Amino acid sequence: MTNNFNEDYQYDSCVSRGICSVNPRTSSLQEILVLYLRLSSYYALKLYENNSPDSSIKDIILTTISILVSNPEFSETDFKAVTERFDEILPGIIEKYEELCKEQDTVPECLKSVLKFNKNIDIIKSIRLGEKEFLKKIQQVPREIRDLYKILFVLAKSICTNVLDLETYDKDGNEGYLTILKLLNSLNSENRDADIFKNLLEEGAKVDNELMKLVRLKQEERYGKQKITEVSYSTTPSKAILVVGSNIRELEDVLDAVKDKKIDVYTHDEMMLAHTFPKFSEYKNLKGQFGQGMENCLLDFATFPGPIILTRHSLYNVENLYRGLLYTTDFAYSKGVIPIKNKDFSGVIKAAEDAKGFKNGKQCESVAIGYNYENSGDEIREKIKNGNFSQIFLIGLNGYTLEQQAYFDKLIKETPDDILIVSLSYCREKNNVLCLNACFDSFAIVEFAEKMIEEFNLSVTVFFPTCDRHTISQMIYLSKNDRISVYVGKCTPIILNPNLINTLNKIFKINGLSSVKTDLEDILNKK
């Protein structure tokens, strides 16, 4: 296991504490937000069709998707804030469309909705309406189509994340936003043909992949080309701040705010990737990585002796961690989390100075992460030149569980020598194995798969040991290529449960992992 941070990390606190599930109350409120999104996307698209797009609705649509999908909990305050903004903006959008139709002497095609724009939100009534809509969907929509709806929202979440990330680099993601509108508006159709949804999802995944490439391009323009970097897991005696999430542009803002302070900054989870960009090595306050990642966030957050910043679309249930040291730059935030407005980190800095910080520090082994595809490509070419390989296995990011480790150790051991294994996480010394450590970099999976397909006349089997918010999008994108087979391991239930895996298999030929023997037999029989 290449990125072997701590051998004692053998559990998923997300699952063991039950914070990956969505309770009925939240599920009902989510149904109401879906109604708002369906209505908003319908009229936003109507304005696009009439060459009169309205930017006022864009922010609230993206914000709602950001907090709606894969979020096991959001507060009534969050719900009220979102619905109040919809109630404020939507009537004007509808009126604008109707006025356009009047000017063009056409009959407006209005969408019926059970929503009533009411500034005085009644949570109890909203929950009841949400329950009613949920039951209606269960009764009227086939299970397979309901699963496709769920996949649609996870794809929309991935696109939304990339659009918002692009905007932090002053680059618009209009194509992504328009794709989100089309995905959401498809929920308004009475046509429930699975093939129509399949085509829509495949097109959305293609757009999402292009957006992800743009995000990486903008990151490298700003921070330099990625390189292999040693990242420390040690801590030093000092006051400290922990920065969580994936938006490294916000990490830059934090580091700029504390550069003249005696406060150290540590990264958590996906934010670790920032260390692979040369620009961040210039920040002396940036010390390294802390903790095990999103699945272990309860323990990580509880043991960090300073304030914690949750960057945009960081996905954590923090209700169990209410202690006055959690901050966020996101629009929605749970009880006990303090909002950061207009890049003002003064409150965080004061909290860090008042906190106990690391008194003694702790020395831990550093980990080499990152990759350079040009160099890695040379290594792959050399192996293929000197070997007689029939196909390629590409193993994605680490799942960090004993079960996943045992599976991929056995897979690597039992894979025939005529198959080249390129592993971005799990490692074993074999002549047919090339070990890298992409560590949290989901972009690497698609990049390697596409470039190997383009360059080598070999089929590629891609294994996704774990899931993040981009995984479903990437799997759908890759599965469209006839020379690529896709397998996915166990994921956080809120992102990918067994029912969704069955639907992904039926519609997109995406396979869930079973046993090494069975999976190898299936793959080799397809040759």
Which of 295, 322, 354 is at the close of a domain?
354
- Assess whether 475 and 517 both reside in one domain: yes
* Average pLDDT rounded to a whole number, residues 458-474: 91
More confident residue, 289 or 269: 289
- Assess whether 177 and 190 both reside in one domain: yes
Q: How far apart, in whole angstroms, are the C-alpha atoms of residue 251 and residue 123?
A: 36
Which pTM value belongs to this model? 0.89
Checking if the pLDDT of 376 tops 70, the result is: yes
- Assess whether 135 and 147 both reside in one domain: no
Checking if the pLDDT of 495 tops 70, the result is: yes
pLDDT band at 73 (very low <50, low <70, confident <90, very high): low
Checking if the pLDDT of 115 tops 70, the result is: yes
Give residue 36's identity as a one-letter amino acid code. Y
- The reported pLDDT for the residue numbered 458 is 92
* Average pLDDT rounded to a whole number, residues 216-231: 94
Give the domain range for residue 328.
238-354
- Assess whether 210 and 296 both reside in one domain: no
Q: How far apart, in whole angstroms, are the C-alpha atoms of residue 39 and residue 112?
A: 9
With a CB cutoff of 8 Å and minimum separation 6, the contacts of 318 are 301, 310, 326, 334, 336, 337
Q: How far apart, in whole angstroms, are the C-alpha atoms of residue 28 and residue 130?
A: 4
Tell me the DSSP string of 267-327.
EEGGGGGGGGSGGGGG-TTEEEE-SS-GGGHHHHHHH-SS-EEE-TT-----GGG-SS-EE
Asked whether residue 361 is domain-assigned, the answer is no
Which of 354, 383, 417 is at the close of a domain?
354
Checking if the pLDDT of 14 tops 80, the result is: no
Q: What is the CATH number of the domain that holds 452?
A: 3.40.50.2030
- The reported pLDDT for the residue numbered 527 is 60
- The reported pLDDT for the residue numbered 210 is 97
Asked whether residue 10 is domain-assigned, the answer is no
- Assess whether 159 and 266 both reside in one domain: no
Residue carrying structure tokens 């914690």: 308
- Assess whether 154 and 278 both reside in one domain: no
Q: How many domains would you assign to the chain?
A: 4
- Assess whether 165 and 101 both reside in one domain: no
- The reported pLDDT for the residue numbered 254 is 97
Which of 80, 111, 140 is at the close of a domain?
140
Asked whether residue 123 is domain-assigned, the answer is yes
- The reported pLDDT for the residue numbered 324 is 62
- Assess whether 61 and 153 both reside in one domain: no
More confident residue, 265 or 426: 265
- Assess whether 322 and 391 both reside in one domain: no
* Average pLDDT rounded to a whole number, residues 345-370: 92
Checking if the pLDDT of 340 tops 50, the result is: yes
- Assess whether 118 and 29 both reside in one domain: yes
Q: How far apart, in whole angstroms, are the C-alpha atoms of residue 148 and residue 204?
A: 13
Condensed to tens digits (0 to 9), the pLDDT of residues 152-166 reads 999 999 999 999 999
- The reported pLDDT for the residue numbered 318 is 55
- Assess whether 116 and 158 both reside in one domain: no
What does residue 489 show for φ and ψ, rounded to 5 degrees?
Answer: -90, -170
Sign, Cα dihedral of 302, 308, 313, 319? positive
pLDDT band at 354 (very low <50, low <70, confident <90, very high): very high
Checking if the pLDDT of 492 tops 90, the result is: no
- Assess whether 118 and 200 both reside in one domain: no
